[in-house]
């Protein structure tokens, strides 16, 4: 075995505080070291060339580079080895810049430490083995979970690139929360008008299979090869036959709250979520309907001309395989009844932001007229309370929900547009208008349209006759405020949806302190997750406004296409490996594996059947937890084997 | 007599603690040179045997650095490491080794300053404990 050792001076970065010559000399006499050199810039072209020449001249089979952190130049030097036909895993990097020269000003101590680190690396490299990166095939189909604007955008972007997409939505229609909005800030575009064309595109796209009223129930497999079970809940209306004639609705005797209008209006047991719904078909809610087991009423079926209603529809499990998954399960509004002092739930005219959105909407419960829920009067004074739930680490959400400042400002502005004589007052902690044209929008509301902004929190909201009494404080003037209003709108914060929790448990995605799905890197990998091949789009990873969601979803689509466009994928080589002879099949590694990459398989040995551990190379991420768990030392992590680490320990702990 | 300079072996996970050490480097934060770092993919890779072995071979202290609880790159490797190390410290006591020679810490990739601080603390703690004498054994292989 011949090892080449290269000590980099990194200009003066290393050489100033580490005696590089001494480091290089210290390992020259070790057995197996064929050559040990110092070079000024090892990562430069001539520096790399030197290694290439030595590999040829000395026939090196292992290379140790003592330079900067492996996170910096490990790929560079691995490529050098590959150039010359060596296995890239026969490289060992020693970090004598970040760990020696930059942090230890004392040259003797720094040099001592560098010498022992390099010796350790040489001893470890003696035990290194060439490793193969395994290849797995890719199924060029994507699964998008969640049909809000994020899921819609991701599905369309993937489908437009020519790949098949399956979009699964829990509700009866896609569109999500955005379909409930009246207008969007800062342009005051009608939300439905910009969303519905995209929804229709999804419904019609030849590459998109849409499963509405369905849920993802099980996900197995790994990047490129996910096996997914989707449960399609019965709609009781045959989508293709329904002509949207609306004959069934008047005859239905069951009246319940309409979720689409935030329970402010009634609907029937057979209904369509909204006129723009995709898939464009009515649906029967089995919890409301009297026709489903037992069949008490069948009035809708009797009047249905095209015979679209089928009470015998059963749920269906669809099994399919996908190469990549986009999770776009979105958010839900914070349960503001938790904030007792605001009186939501006990005072009728205290409503949430989303409820006000429905009241403003032309297709909402009041047909676009601003009327308060209690008596239907047009409110003359409306108070908008910002941060309802957000930025309150003691009791509610600790984070800023990002969108509420803007939508509360928008609400106030829209109210003023509807009720010209009305008074709109906003209570805020801070106004956060980070976004294109947002500050201008806020300025317009405050300066041109006479929306009043008071800096301070509301401490109490009380019913006072048929009006509402607000107690608060103006923190800029340090005055307490008591004022009456006809209606109070809470700028509700947002939190991860139930679906986000369920799906992240199903896919084993890690979540942050607030429950949102965590990105692989908060800055540079905003759509990647801890699981390769699973990407996140939209508010599933934290509060976002619509433009952010659309661009986020676009990147999730691109990252999925990166996977789908490949014939096969290379997976990391430093994975777990089982020694069949030592393994006694206790299964402790199976339990310890965070990814379910290890299974017990039966093998035949000397005519007996044994169970031993078996690692799925495509699923294993190479954390090595199993190797530390195994009592027999039967499972080891390639590239970080027990013997390699022990030899390092021996070298580093040695006097 | 020369002052006692402890030898400390640090097992750092690639994703958080090792990156934190890199950050300490790029920020030029000075810390004692007694620490010798071994990079592992996850703190969950640290077999208690490694720790005992390090103490046997000549180390005076061992540091295990992982991602903060809940932040593990491998989902829950750091929890497993924590359990193992807590358990092992009890056994060290049984062997007559001061459990304080082994320390587990959480350093994120953004905590260069914390990393340096931890190294200072650990070095100081081990210095107080003095050289490791018990169960010293040289592996000949």
Chain B residues within 8 A of A104 when measuring between CB atoms: 30-31, 33
**pLDDT score of A291:** 82
The Cα of B127 is separated from the nearest Cα of chain A by a number of Å equal to 16
| Chain A CA closest to residue B56 | A653
Instruction: Spell out the long-range contacts of A514-521 with Cβ–Cβ below 8 A and sequence spacing 24 or more.
Output: A514/A397, A514/A398, A514/A399, A514/A542, A516/A540, A516/A541, A516/A542, A517/A327, A517/A541, A518/B71
Reported as a single tens digit per residue, the pLDDT across B60-115 is: 999 999 998 877 878 889 999 999 999 999 999 888 889 999 999 999 887 889 99
CATH number for position A622: 3.30.70.20
**Do A203 and A225 lie in a common domain?**
yes
Chain B residues within 8 A of A622 when measuring between CB atoms: 41
Judge whether A571 lies within some domain. no
Residue A648 forms contact with B (CB below 8 Å) = yes
Q: For an interface test with A, which of B34, B55, B57, B126 has the most A Cβ atoms less than 10 Å from its Cβ?
A: B57
Judge whether A165 lies within some domain. yes
CB contact under 8 A, B45 and A623: yes
Q: State the average pLDDT over residues A478-501.
A: 95
Indicate if the pLDDT at residue B138 is higher than 70.
no
Pinpoint the alpha helices (H) of A429-540: 438-443, 498-507
Residue B85 forms contact with A (CB below 8 Å) = no
In chain A, the percentage of residues whose pLDDT exceeds 90 is 84
CB contact under 8 A, B73 and A530: yes
Distance of alpha carbon B127 from alpha carbon B3, whole angstroms: 9
**pLDDT score of B1:** 44
**pLDDT score of B74:** 84
| Chain B CA closest to residue A640 | B40
Indicate if the pLDDT at residue B141 is higher than 60.
no
Indicate if the pLDDT at residue A105 is higher than 50.
yes
Judge whether A111 lies within some domain. yes
**pLDDT score of A514:** 86
CB contact under 8 A, A95 and B41: no
Indicate if the pLDDT at residue B135 is higher than 80.
no
Residue A199 corresponds to which tokens in the numbers above? 């929804």
Of residues A116, A625, A652, nearest to B45 (C-beta) = A625
Tell me the three-class secondary structure of A105-137, residue by residue. Answer: CCHHHHHHHHHHHHHHHHHHHHCCCCCCCCEEE
**Do A484 and A550 lie in a common domain?**
no
Distance of alpha carbon A396 from alpha carbon A287, whole angstroms: 32
The SS3 assignment for A198 reads: helix
How buried is residue A193: exposed, middle or buried, by Cβ count under 10 Å (0-12/13-18/19+)?
A: exposed
Of residues B9, B22, B30, nearest to A649 (C-beta) = B9
**Do A458 and A377 lie in a common domain?**
yes
The SS3 assignment for A304 reads: coil
What's the whole-number average pLDDT of chain A? 93
How many domains would you assign to chain A?
Answer: 5
Reported as a single tens digit per residue, the pLDDT across A274-331 is: 989 999 999 999 999 988 877 889 899 999 999 999 999 999 999 999 999 999 999 9
Q: State the average pLDDT over residues A546-573.
A: 93
**pLDDT score of A523:** 81
Of residues B21, B44, B75, nearest to A98 (C-beta) = B21
**Do A488 and A390 lie in a common domain?**
yes
Q: Which domains does chain B have, with CATH numbers?
A: 8-129 (3.40.50)
Sign, CA dihedral A292-A294-A296-A298, equals positive
Residue B38 forms contact with A (CB below 8 Å) = yes
Distance of alpha carbon A41 from alpha carbon A12, whole angstroms: 10
**Do A425 and A385 lie in a common domain?**
yes
Indicate if the pLDDT at residue A508 is higher than 80.
no
Q: Which helix (H) or strand (E) holds A284?
A: strand A283-284
Residues 555 through 584 of chain A touching chain B, CB cutoff 8 Å: 574
Residues 266 through 295 of chain A touching chain B, CB cutoff 8 Å: none
Residue B139 forms contact with A (CB below 8 Å) = yes
**pLDDT score of A654:** 79
Residue A220 corresponds to which tokens in the numbers above? 């197995």
Distances (CA, A) of B138 to A409, B36, B55: 72, 18, 10
Ramachandran class of A332: left when φ > 0, alpha when ψ lies in -120 to 50, beta otherwise: beta
Chain A residues within 8 A of B73 when measuring between CB atoms: 530, 623
Of residues B7, B22, B33, nearest to A71 (C-beta) = B22
Of residues B36, B70, B74, nearest to A623 (C-beta) = B74
Tell which of A68, A103, A126 closes a domain. A126
- Quote the distance between the C-alpha of residue A517 and its chain's center: 4
The Cα of A70 is separated from the nearest Cα of chain B by a number of Å equal to 10
Distance of alpha carbon A438 from alpha carbon A187, whole angstroms: 9
Q: For an interface test with B, which of A93, A106, A518, A625 has the most B Cβ atoms less than 10 Å from its Cβ?
A: A625
CATH number for position A480: 3.50.50.60
Kindly list the strands in the beta sheet with A479-485, ordered across the sheet, starting from the edge strand earlier in the chain: A458-464, A467-474, A479-485
More confident residue, A295 or B117: B117
Buried b (16+ CB within 10 A) or exposed e, A257-281: ebebbbebeebbbbbbbbebbbbbb
Distance of alpha carbon A464 from alpha carbon A72, whole angstroms: 66
Place of tokens 């439905």: A192
Judge whether A590 lies within some domain. yes
Residue B66's nearest CA partner among B88, B89, B92, B39 is B39
Tell which of A538, A564, A590 closes a domain. A564
Q: Are B23 and B92 in contact (CB under 8 A)?
A: no
Reported as a single tens digit per residue, the pLDDT across A356-374 is: 999 999 999 999 899 999 9
Judge whether A570 lies within some domain. no
Q: Are A64 and A122 in contact (CB under 8 A)?
A: yes
Distance of alpha carbon A188 from alpha carbon A413, whole angstroms: 10
Of residues B28, B50, B57, nearest to A654 (C-beta) = B57
CB contact under 8 A, A623 and B36: no
Reported as a single tens digit per residue, the pLDDT across B1-18 is: 467 889 999 999 998 899
**Do A344 and A454 lie in a common domain?**
yes
State the count of interchain CB pairs (< 8 A) between A and B. 138
Indicate if the pLDDT at residue A33 is higher than 50.
yes
Place of tokens 């006759």: A465
The Cα of A502 is separated from the nearest Cα of chain B by a number of Å equal to 16
Judge whether A646 lies within some domain. no
CB contact under 8 A, A622 and B41: yes
| Confidence label for A541 from pLDDT (cuts 50, 70 and 90) | very high
**Do A480 and A339 lie in a common domain?**
yes
Distance of alpha carbon A371 from alpha carbon A36, whole angstroms: 83
**pLDDT score of A170:** 95
Judge whether A23 lies within some domain. yes
CATH number for position A93: 3.40.50.960
| Confidence label for A484 from pLDDT (cuts 50, 70 and 90) | very high
Place of tokens 């819609």: A152
CB contact under 8 A, A99 and B25: yes
**Do A278 and A354 lie in a common domain?**
no
Q: Are A409 and A444 in contact (CB under 8 A)?
A: no
**Do A363 and A445 lie in a common domain?**
yes
What's the whole-number average pLDDT of chain B? 89
Q: For an interface test with A, which of B44, B133, B136 has the most A Cβ atoms less than 10 Å from its Cβ?
A: B44
Instruction: Count CB atoms within 10 A of the CB of residue A82.
Output: 12
Indicate if the pLDDT at residue A536 is higher than 80.
yes
Distance of alpha carbon B118 from alpha carbon B63, whole angstroms: 9
**Do A319 and A348 lie in a common domain?**
no
Of residues A106, A640, A648, nearest to B41 (C-beta) = A640
**Do A519 and A560 lie in a common domain?**
yes
Residue B54 forms contact with A (CB below 8 Å) = yes
**pLDDT score of A506:** 85
The residue segments making up the domain with residue A429 are 334-495
**pLDDT score of A358:** 95
Q: State the average pLDDT over residues A247-261.
A: 94
Judge whether A618 lies within some domain. yes
Tell which of A76, A91, A126 closes a domain. A126
**pLDDT score of A369:** 93
Residue A622 forms contact with B (CB below 8 Å) = yes
Q: Are A42 and A24 in contact (CB under 8 A)?
A: no
Q: State the average pLDDT over residues A475-496.
A: 95
**Do A452 and A338 lie in a common domain?**
yes
CB contact under 8 A, A653 and B72: no
Distance of alpha carbon A8 from alpha carbon A424, whole angstroms: 67
Residue B58 corresponds to which tokens in the numbers above? 């000549």
CB contact under 8 A, A649 and B25: no
């Amino acid at each position: 075995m011949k090892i080449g050792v290269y000590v980099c001076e990194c200009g003066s970065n290393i050489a100033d505080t580490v005696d590089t010559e001494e480091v290089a000399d210290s390992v020259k006499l070790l057995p197996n070291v064929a050559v040990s050199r110092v070079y000024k810039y090892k990562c430069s072209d001539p520096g790399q060339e030197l290694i290439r020449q030595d590999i040829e001249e000395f026939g090196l089979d292992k290379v140790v580079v003592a330079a900067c952190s492996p996170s910096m130049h490990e790929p560079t030097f691995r490529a050098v080895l590959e150039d010359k036909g060596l296995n890239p895993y026969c490289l060992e990097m020693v970090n004598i810049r970040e760990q020696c020269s930059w942090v230890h000003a004392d040259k003797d101590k720094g040099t001592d430490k560098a010498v022992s680190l390099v010796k350790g690396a040489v001893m470890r490299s003696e035990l290194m083995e060439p490793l193969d990166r395994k290849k797995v095939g890719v199924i060029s189909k994507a699964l998008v979970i969640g049909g809000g604007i994020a899921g819609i955008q991701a599905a369309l972007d993937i489908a437009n690139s020519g790949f098949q997409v399956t979009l699964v939505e829990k509700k009866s229609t896609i569109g999500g929360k955005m379909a409930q909005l009246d207008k969007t800030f800062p342009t005051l575009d009608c939300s439905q008008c910009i969303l519905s064309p995209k929804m229709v595109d999804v419904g019609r796209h030849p590459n998109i299979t849409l499963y509405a009223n369905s849920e993802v129930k099980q996900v197995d497999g790994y990047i490129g090869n996910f096996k997914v079970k989707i449960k399609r809940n019965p709609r009781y209306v045959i989508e293709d036959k329904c002509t949207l004639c609306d004959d069934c609705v008047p005859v239905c005797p069951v009246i319940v709250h309409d979720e689409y209008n935030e329970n402010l209006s009634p609907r029937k047991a057979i209904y369509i979520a909204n006129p723009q719904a995709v898939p464009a078909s009515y649906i029967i809610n089995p919890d409301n309907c009297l026709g489903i087991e037992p069949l008490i009423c069948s009035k809708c079926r009797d009047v249905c001309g095209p015979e679209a209603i089928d009470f015998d529809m059963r749920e269906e499990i669809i099994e399919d395989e996908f190469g990549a998954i986009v999770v776009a399960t979105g958010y839900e509004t914070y349960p503001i009844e938790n904030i007792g002092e605001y009186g939501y739930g006990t005072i009728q005219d205290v409503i949430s932001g989303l409820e006000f959105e429905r009241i403003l909407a032309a297709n909402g419960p009041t047909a676009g007229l601003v009327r308060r829920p209690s008596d239907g009067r047009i409110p003359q004074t409306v108070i908008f309370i910002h941060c309802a739930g957000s930025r309150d680490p003691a009791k509610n959400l600790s984070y800023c929900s990002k969108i509420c400042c803007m939508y509360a400002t928008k609400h106030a502005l829209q109210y003023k547009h509807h009720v010209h004589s009305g008074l709109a007052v906003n209570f805020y902690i801070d106004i956060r208008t980070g976004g294109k044209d947002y500050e201008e929008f806020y300025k317009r509301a405050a300066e041109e349209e006479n929306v009043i902004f008071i800096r301070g929190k509301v401490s109490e909201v009380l019913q006072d006759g048929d009006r509402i009494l607000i107690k608060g404080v103006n923190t800029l003037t340090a005055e307490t405020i008591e004022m009456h209003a006809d209606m109070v709108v809470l700028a509700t914060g947002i939190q991860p949806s139930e679906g986000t929790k369920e799906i992240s448990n199903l896919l084993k995605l890690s979540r942050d302190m607030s429950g949102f799905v965590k990105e692989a890197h908060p800055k540079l990998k905003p759509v990647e997750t801890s699981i390769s091949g699973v990407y996140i789009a939209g508010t599933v990873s934290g509060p976002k406004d619509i433009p952010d969601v659309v661009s986020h979803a676009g990147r999730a689509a691109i990252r999925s296409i990166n996977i789908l466009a490949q014939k096969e994928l290379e997976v990391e080589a430093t994975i777990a490996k089982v020694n069949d002879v030592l393994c006694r099949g206790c299964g402790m590694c199976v339990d310890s594996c965070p990814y379910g990459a290890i299974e017990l398989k039966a093998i035949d040995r000397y005519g007996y059947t044994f169970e031993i551990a078996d690692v799925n190379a495509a699923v294993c991420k190479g954390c090595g937890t199993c190797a530390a768990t195994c009592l027999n030392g039967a499972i080891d992590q390639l590239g970080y084997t027990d013997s390699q680490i022990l030899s390092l320990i021996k070298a580093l702990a040695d006097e | 007599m020369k002052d006692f300079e402890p030898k400390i072996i640090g097992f750092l996970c690639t994703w958080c603690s090792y990156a934190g050490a890199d950050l300490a480097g790029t920020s030029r934060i000075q810390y004692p040179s007694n620490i010798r770092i071994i990079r592992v993919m996850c703190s969950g890779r640290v077999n208690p045997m490694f720790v005992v072995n390090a103490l046997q071979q000549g180390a005076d202290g061992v540091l295990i650095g992982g991602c903060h609880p809940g932040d593990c790159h491998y989902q829950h490797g750091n929890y497993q490491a924590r359990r193992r190390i807590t358990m092992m410290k009890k056994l060290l006591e049984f062997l007559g080794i001061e459990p304080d020679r082994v320390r587990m810490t959480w350093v994120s990739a953004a905590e260069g300053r914390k990393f340096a601080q931890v190294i200072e603390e650990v070095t100081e703690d081990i210095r107080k404990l003095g050289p490791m004498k018990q169960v010293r054994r040289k592996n000949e292989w």
